[in-house]
Structures are given as structure tokens and as C-alpha cells.
Amino acid sequence: MQLLDNDTVAAWIFLTPALILLGLFIIWPIIYLFYLSFTAGSFTSTGTYLVGFKNYWRLLLNSDFWQVIFNTVYFTLGSLFPSLVIPLGLAVLLNRSIALRGILRSAYFLPSIVSLVAAGLGFRWLFQNTGPVNGLLNFFAIQPISWLGDTFWAMPVIILFSIWKQLGFNMVVFLAGLQTIPYSRYEAAELDGANDWQQFWHITLPGLQPTLIFATVTTAIFTLRSFEPVYVITGGGPLNSTNLLVYYIYQEAFGQFDFGYAAAVATVLLAVTLLLVYLQLRTWEED
């Protein structure tokens, strides 16, 4: 009795290298991360030892962790809405036949391919006390602002960086989504007397629903995993006001060498990310 036909054997042969890489570099690290979150100690001669749920209990009682959670939620929500609305508006405009459309598309996409570290250094230079932004305020006789040294203004600078960095990618995603909407719908709407806003509200937005869901989830994940802007621009300061989850994990793991506690925080971040992906998949299934 033949257990596997030739097509099945061939499929497993082609899939095996990919499955091995998937297991080594994704599945096993996740399993080890989960295990590490129940340990304490370090990777020295003393080694690690199991402590149960102690690290997770520390999370609940640690005021710094809750400050980081608040910062991350503030940063994510502050970045998410503009990172969707602005690229969507640009995509709708660039989808039409306007002059220099190709050049403008390339220009708006450039931030997505610029190094995060290089762009972060550029933003740090722009918003330093003697930088061009304060120079412009001085020109208009406005009192300079300590952008990176003020607990109120530091986070908006990071949010602005995130919006600028995500703009090009989301614009391209929306442009691709707009290409899937049949032009005949707009022609029928024009014959019925619908204006531009009515066409956008009743044709463009419904037609872009799957694209909007995808862009929302990917943008949320992008903001949740933000590390370079904090590391380069503010270092988590001032007074921990711009410290985000990924940077907090880095500090605990490689600053304090508290790998078990850092793994517990990373597990929380992983759970939130998986929840976002699950919601995206469920929404797509319902559509």
C-alpha cells in the first residue's frame, strides 16, 4: 500500500529546507523566549534557574513598565491615524493623471528606504536646541522649545518621525489597492451626479477596506517594534517619557543583563502582535 504519492513526496522535499529555517530562526526562538521568561540569572558560569511566574509578577508591580506601556500606547495611537490618513490622501491624488506623478511617487517613497539610524540622526539635528526648527521659530520671534529635553514635546518628535517614515510604504499600499477598484464604478457615479467626496466615501473607502485593514495592522506592528528612533533621538528620555517597549526590553536585557525579565516583557509584546495579526485574519475572513 502506497502511503504517499509522488506529488506529496516532492512537496515535502521542496518544503523541508524552508521548514527547517522556519523552525531554527522563528519557532525555536519563540519557544526559548517563552522558557527564558520563567527564569532568572545570566548566561555566565552561574547559569539560569527557574523562578516560575516571578518575572510576570514583577511586570504587574513595576511602575516603569506601566509608564512604558502608556508611552507605547500613546506613541502607537498618535502615529497610527496620521500614518493612514495622509498616505491615503496622497494615494488618491497621485492615482489621478497629474503632472510629475511618477517623480512625486518616488519622492514620497524615499523615507521608506532611508536608514532608520541616518534618518533619526537627521531628526535629532533638526530638533536640537540650536537646530533649524528652533532657528525658524526665532525667525518668527517665537520662543525656542527644548524639543528633546521636554517631557511634553519629546514624544511628538518621535511620533512625527514615525509618520514620516511610514508615509511612503502606506502610500504605495493604498495605490495598489486603488488599482483594484473598477473605474466603471466611478463613471457610473459621475453619471448619477455624485461629486468627488461622495465617490470617495461610497466607492473608494469600501473598495479599499481589505487594504485599510492590512495597512492598519502593519502600521501598528511597525510602531510597536520601534527601537531605532528612541535609541538615536532621545535615548528613552527625558525622564523615561519616550521609552517604548522594544527599547525597554533592550535596556533590561543588555543594560541590566536581566534576561528573564526582558523575556517576559518581550513575550507580552509578542502576544499583542499575535493578537493584531489574529484580528486582521478574522476581519478578512468575515469580508
Q: Which tens digit of pLDDT belongs to each residue from 98-151? A: 666 778 778 888 888 888 899 999 999 999 988 999 999 998 988 999 999 999
Is residue 149 situated within a structural domain?
yes
- Residue 225 forms part of a structural domain: yes
User: Which pLDDT score is estimated for 110?
Assistant: 85
- Contacts of range 129-134, beta carbons closer than 8 Å, 24 or more positions apart: none
| Parent domain of 256 | 62-283
Residue 23 in domain: no
Q: What is the pLDDT of residue 136?
A: 93
How would residue 287 be classed by pLDDT, with cut points 50, 70 and 90?
Answer: low
Cβ-contact 181, 202 below 8 angstroms: no
Q: Is residue 249 a part of any domain in this protein?
A: yes
Question: What pLDDT is attached to residue 146?
Answer: 92
Of 61, 23, 22, nearest in space to 264 by CA? 61
Going by C-alpha positions, the residue among 22, 87, 30 that lies closest to residue 269 is 30
Average pLDDT over residues 208-218: 88
According to DSSP, the β-strands at 48-50 and 39-41 are antiparallel
CATH number of the domain within which 244 lies: 1.10.3720.10
Q: Are 273 and 224 in contact (CB under 8 A)?
A: yes
Task: Give a yes or no: residue 31 inside a domain.
Answer: no
Q: Which of 6-10, 15-19, 29-33, 179-183 has the lowest mean pLDDT?
A: 6-10
* 242, 59 contact by CB (below 8 A): no
As given in the structure block, the three cell numbers for residue 100 are 510629475
Residue 83 falls inside a structural domain = yes
Q: Report if residue 256 sits inside a domain.
A: yes
What domain count does the chain have?
1
**Signed CA dihedral, 164, 165, 169, 174: sign only:** negative
